Amino acid sequence: MGASEIVGIAWALVAAVFLGVFALPTKYTKDSAWENTWGAFFFIGMFVVPIIVAFATVKGLGGTYARVSPGVIAAVIALGFMWGCGNICWGKGIATIGMALGFAIMIGTVTLSGSLLPLFMSNADKAFTVPGLTIIGGLVVCVLGIAANGRAGLLREKAQTQGAETEDRPMLKGILICLAGGLLASGCNLAFHVGTNVGGIPEISEKEF
């Protein structure tokens, strides 16, 4: 394993830690409307930080954008919009059924859809090799985990509301929102696939150095 692979794994671990704790502050803002909390998150996480990081780490950023196909840019923007809608669902889902259950369902769903779709879009011939089947096997485990979490949530709601009349089904509603959020959030992986494998943005950026 080369130095670049080690650096890549290290960054992936750092990203995993950040992804695992990004919703933690919501436990301390329960008295605030969910749209206020997530509005601040969207503004900082999707506008302020990406713009600063892009200009700080990418040389010739303007030249890169100028050389990328308009169709690729439009596709990446559309998939980014899809990802943003997914994140809104994440916020609503966590506010509805709680961070533990909501996060488990959404992470499992986005891992499933965000891994399978790019795999079959760019490496369909490798899907049924040993590495491909290993990935698919791991994703099957994710599906089982999603199903177990969803059933646990519904059983918990049934136990809490047993004997009480209720017209609303916040747990089922929340699970559906979380599933939708996970599916939509896979737009981030798809945008990366389109930008990298279709648009060749990394190669174009390297030529701008």
Model pLDDT, residue 118 = 73
pLDDT truncated to tens, each residue of the chain (209 aa)? 677 778 888 888 888 888 777 777 777 777 777 778 878 888 888 889 889 988 888 888 888 888 999 999 999 999 999 988 988 888 888 888 877 778 778 877 887 777 777 777 766 677 678 877 887 788 788 778 777 877 776 677 677 666 554 445 578 888 889 889 988 988 888 898 899 888 888 888 877 55
Determine whether 122 is exposed, middle or buried from the number of CB atoms within 10 Å of its CB (0-12, 13-18, 19+): middle
Name the residue among 207, 199, 206 with its Cα closest to residue 74.
199
Distance in angstroms between the alpha carbons of the first and the last residue of the chain = 26
Q: What was the pLDDT predicted at 72?
A: 93
Radius of gyration of the chain (CA): 20
Q: Please give the C-alpha separations between residue 170 and each of 67, 96, 97, 123, 156, in angstroms, as whole numbers.
A: 48, 7, 7, 40, 12
Query: What's residue 35's pLDDT?
Result: 77
Predicted local confidence at residue 79, as pLDDT = 92
Token pair belonging to 151:
């059933």
For 96-134, give the DSSP string. Answer: HH-HHHHHHHHHHHHHHHHHHHHHHHH-GGGTTSHHHHH
Q: Is 195 in contact with 83 (CB distance < 8 Å)?
A: no
Could you give the 3-state DSSP secondary structure of residue 122? helix
Res 48: pLDDT: 92
